Structure 1
Amino acid sequence: MLGNHKIACIFIINFNTLLYTVRKILLVLIFTVLFTACEEEKEALEFTNYSVEKSYEACNPEEGECTFISINYPVAEGENEAAKEINRAITNHIIEVVDYRDDKKIESIEGLADRFIENFETTASDFPEYQIPSEASVLGEISLRTEDLISFRFSSEIFTGGAHGYSSVSFLNFNPETGATYSHEELFTSEFKEFFEEKFREDQNIPQNEPINSNGLFFEDDKFVLPQNIGFSQNELVLHYNAYEISSYADGNIIYRFPYAEVEEFLKVGLQEIPVE
């Protein structure tokens, strides 16, 4: 009897220990879930507009000839990695758009503005007879934001001399969770290129069995490629070939737009837009 009583006590003690352990584990799990939820809410990406403007000798672009640079674009707030990655990619992109021929390293938009004015000052000093004002403007905006995607559209106009300036439209598409830039392969199925080439050939009157450059286009190695710049708006997918990309400057931009209903079978990302509060 005493032995059985001892066994029962041990069982009760072990059962209480087990119950205590289970309660501790449950509490840890509950607090972990609550903490993670709070962290996710706290780390949600928010954006504010950021502007950098600079002019030569404080001239006013609205009052006539003036060398100036104006950059306006959304900046991700916070110190989380996704925000840092997005801001880094946008900064590098704008620098490349405005200063694509410069060999010296520029690490900020402020540095880009300084370099743009310095380049004009150097040219004006070395060749005063060719002192034609330079202009650069870039406007960035979020064209679509969903749980799976943040699409940025950038319109730019650059003039640094010559017969005419150069205007372009570009897109960057981000994974909002990581801040990484999506590649075309991550956005579309392999069938999308075939779908778009067929539409492109029909629009450009290029028979399916003829080389893609048979009507004077400039595709490298005579092989069809998707445009570098593909973006998302609220209602449609935009494919944008800038002037010089596949045709002459006189042909201008070549742009295609598809309602999402027409291309949704080729998309790898969801397009349910996040409501604006």
Structure 2
Amino acid sequence: MKNAAMKKLALLFLSLSFIACQNEKKTISSSDQVNETDLSFKYDSVKVSSNVLVKGNENLTDTTKAVISYPVFSDQKINQFIEQKVMKFANEGEHYATYNDFASSFIKNFDAFSKENKEYGQTWFLDAKVKVEEQHPQYLSFLITFVNYEGGAHPNSSFTYLNYDPQNHQEILLDSLINPGSMPELTAIAEKIFRKNEKLSPTASLKDNYFFENDKFSLNQNFSINKKGLKFLYNPYEIKAYAYGITELVIPFADLKDVAKPNSLLNPAN
């Protein structure tokens, strides 16, 4: 009888242990699904070409093209955010709903121009790209590049960063990363780095070689966060002549300790 009782007790413990393990597995699996953010993506593109052929040097013919490449995420909310932002940057008095609308409109404008200027011997081009610069569970950074030519001495180009919180599905703005009222302090830190990069003394004038308003250094809102710190980008013509191209400025995390919010992305602990 004793052996029978022991066997029943052992079977009871095994059953309880099995049930506990199954419940634990279910709990872990459910939690993972709630917290996991799918940031997988692949690149795609649209390309629209004009039917108008332009004869160039050595009797070679070419045509105007508009190409837009962009990432496609598994999460549609991220895709919608990117596309809406690109269309906003591309808006030149017209409303574009999709990448294809924008590319087609560029070609339509060239075709109309070519029809009125039949002796015009040049093609146009549009090359737009959205590149994933940084990819983390709490942070996505995109660089939107527009390079286009519509006649003139040289192509036009612009480089714009987008910062996105994939967990809360919202854009990350600079003010949300720094303490309230700390923008003047952040600007002062950045100016020291800027002057060092440009080989300028602390008191050298910015009047002759730069385009800052009132000849006073200022930060823009075109930023990204990388492994080195907080990075700002100035476009051609923004603070310097076109020939100088873009100007980049990186503020190391160590220099941000007094202006960064404790729990923001500018805190290296995050």
Count of residues in correspondence between the two structures: 233
Residue by residue over 1:209-246, the C-alpha shift from the partner in whole angstroms, topping out at 9 and shown as x without a partner, is 566x3333111243422133222345554321111111
Change (3 A) 1:270 1:177: farther
Contact 1:228/1:241, CA 8 A, preserved across alignment:
no
Q: Does 1:195 align with 2:192?
A: no
Determine the structure 2 residue equivalent to 1:178. 168
How far residue 258 of structure 1 moved from its aligned partner, in angstroms, is: 5.0
1:70 to 67, 88, 93: 67
C-alpha distance in 2, partners of 1:261/1:103?
Answer: 43
Determine the structure 2 residue equivalent to 1:229. 222
Q: Does 1:38 align with 2:28?
A: no
Q: Does 1:153 align with 2:137?
A: no
Residue by residue over 1:23-51, the C-alpha shift from the partner in whole angstroms, topping out at 9 and shown as x without a partner, is xxxxxxx999965643443x533322221
Q: TM-score, normalised by structure 2?
A: 0.72
Letter in 2 for 1:72: S
Contact 1:134/1:159, CA 8 A, preserved across alignment:
yes
C-alpha distance in 2, partners of 1:271/1:139?
Answer: 30
Structural mapping, 1:1-277, within 5 Å? 35=30, 37-41=32-36, 44-57=38-51, 65-78=62-75, 83-84=76-77, 86-97=78-89, 99-100=90-91, 102-189=92-179, 190=182, 191-209=185-203, 213-235=206-228, 237-258=230-251, 260=253, 263=256, 267=260, 268-269=264-265
Contact 1:68/1:136, CA 8 A, preserved across alignment:
yes
Contact 2:230/2:266, CA 8 A, preserved across alignment:
no
The 3-state SS of whatever aligns with 1:92 is helix
After TM superposition, where is structure 1 displaced by more than 6 Å over at least 4 residues in a row?
30-34
Determine the structure 1 residue equivalent to 2:16. none
Contact 1:73/1:140, CA 8 A, preserved across alignment:
yes
Between the two proteins, what is the percent identity of the paired residues?
26
C-alpha distance in 1, partners of 2:71/2:139?
Answer: 15
C-alpha distance in 2, partners of 1:224/1:117?
Answer: 39
Letter in 2 for 1:155: T
Change (3 A) 1:266 1:146: farther
The 3-state SS of whatever aligns with 2:210 is coil
Question: 5+ unaligned residues in a row in structure 1: which ranges?
Answer: 1-29
C-alpha distance in 2, partners of 1:49/1:210?
Answer: 45
How far residue 260 of structure 1 moved from its aligned partner, in angstroms, is: 4.8
* Greater fraction of residues in strand: 2
Question: 5+ unaligned residues in a row in structure 2: which ranges?
Answer: 1-24, 54-59
Change (3 A) 1:131 1:219: same
The 3-state SS of whatever aligns with 1:227 is coil
Contact 1:123/1:131, CA 8 A, preserved across alignment:
no
